Structure 1
């Protein structure tokens, strides 16, 4: 018997993953209902506009809303497939996964479920989250059967399919990247694969179950976190030994089997900075390397903050007639990576908050991808980087616009290797020495 096609899909959570996914399905002439608790996001989308920055997303959303294939609402509606793409934060200070948003989404869609429906958890989650979601659904709908008890004969199909896209390239990678699909049964996996093949040109790879699919995503991001920690640790070692870490990495990477990543002010975003802790929480005694990498990356922001304070001290020593209230500090970048507006788990934002709170003088912030500073950065001012005049310049995010501009004059703390330090030294000839984290 041929399985039916999907005529209506519901996406729960219209953020950086949910909205592009909803738009992608809608672009294939499938009716999509997006659900979000944020009324502003709902209203914005229904006007054919977007509330997040992602290349090409605005064009697709405008088209599918105008054509009637995508609408947003705050309440779930009946559909044939439900994709849950909500946050999975921590609770407490021990990095324990908090599944409250997944549970809330599951209980929200439960009343509109019917036999034959498919529920997919896309949220990056700790091992076992998909099974927990299935249990919450079963508690809410005892009149339906679920895979954990009915197996292949269940009324509802349940699977995990983690997103694996790069911010800034989401609309491309949703299509071309392979998808890892972990259904609770083979029937669940088959249904999920059939759904994604509406737009995915990459391979839909079926895992042996949802736990393996969950672990695959966590493993991918933990691998990257460990490699970034190595680069960040090298930057600290090189600073102590008086070496240029960027030169060192460039030389080491000439080996055909070496590819060291670039250091930075820490690790941000809602994936690499979070996912390794999900593995640690699942097996705390067996994750020594993953935990150590997290600790190295989590400590890097404070190291940068200390370098900035040292630069301020150096400037005051060179200008004994000045006080700290007269030292202007300029911060370049707040996003967690270049050329996006996403501030989630951003080490740059963490550093900026600390500097604004500690520095008594003026603080200027250049972040070209946002229209206003977060409220907790007051009294700092959001400015165009091309107009900045400051004593200390702190590069935290190497946006393209920063790198294409000339290196500023003054003391530099460059956490991303985005400035030409030799050029800065030439400009500052006869002035105080340049301070960098190179």
Structure 2
């Protein structure tokens, strides 16, 4: 057969399988080519992967019974499969079932001994998301629980091929993804799974204290391995704390802090900002109380450029005495032990004011306005200081002393109710002319 005919028959076989007709499996497999049921389309997808995407439990079972590779992967190379989507590379049937939230299919694949970590091999770098990472990011509590029950590792992160990652402390693992998307129940489930076997996990206090004590007995290989696992968990929680703070999920941030994970200045400031915006006063009080727990080496320029303005903003907006006292303690700590210099009171410059009886008083007037043919008396000193428009108007008037200024297109009673002529010409503009 020519390559065109072979391609046509393979496409026909995939179409027959994708229609969901389990009775056509045998005939369709014969059309797929030499690889049979494990043949890949131009997108690098096998029939089992397509069935997992659709959530077709019956077809998945039929393909598994027919010998489909349960751990097949979408190839990374584009030479044989030029239409592979970059985001699907190294995806397995389990990956696609989790990605589309098909719990029964996931259960079926795991029962058939699918690799719970997808394409990840022990000790190898992971260039794609594990099923647990995908379920954690989606917030699918049922899938997360199922995968954890089958041994999925929440500490596995994703390594990027270009060596660049958005995670400041490590790779984006399941903790970070759940925290970044605000899935608090999923995050707590991930934590509870690790805490089940506390005999093999050091407490965070022990991890933080490791290396700070001089001397000490030499650790066994088992305890060293436990310490490495504990440190990996601490790094994961620090990263999760960063992402939860960055995305405004302060409840998750507080949960992580309650585990003993230390604050960084950045996560503390972002949490404080979120609580202030959300007007969560009890959390603000708790965060301000925790400021003393931040290590001095964390005091960076961010404290000056972002932290202090934020805290002064809270001080101005807050009417709570406890918050005001907590902020004063922080300001004192930031200022240091130096004496406070004497503050010079800034006195406001007094502006000249004339008595209201100068307004519309013929005897005290040296300027006359004509409104609807009626005179309105004013004083030029008051007008000069009232506005720049008055000053310009009076400066351009003829030199004759008896010159009147006519205001047109405004009624006399409206003009008269303006107790301050400066306000009148600042806010309104009416044609005027000089008349004798």
Q: TM-score, normalised by structure 2?
A: 0.23
- Which structure: greater strand fraction? 1
| Greater Cα radius of gyration, structure 1 or 2 | 2
Q: TM-score, normalised by structure 1?
A: 0.23
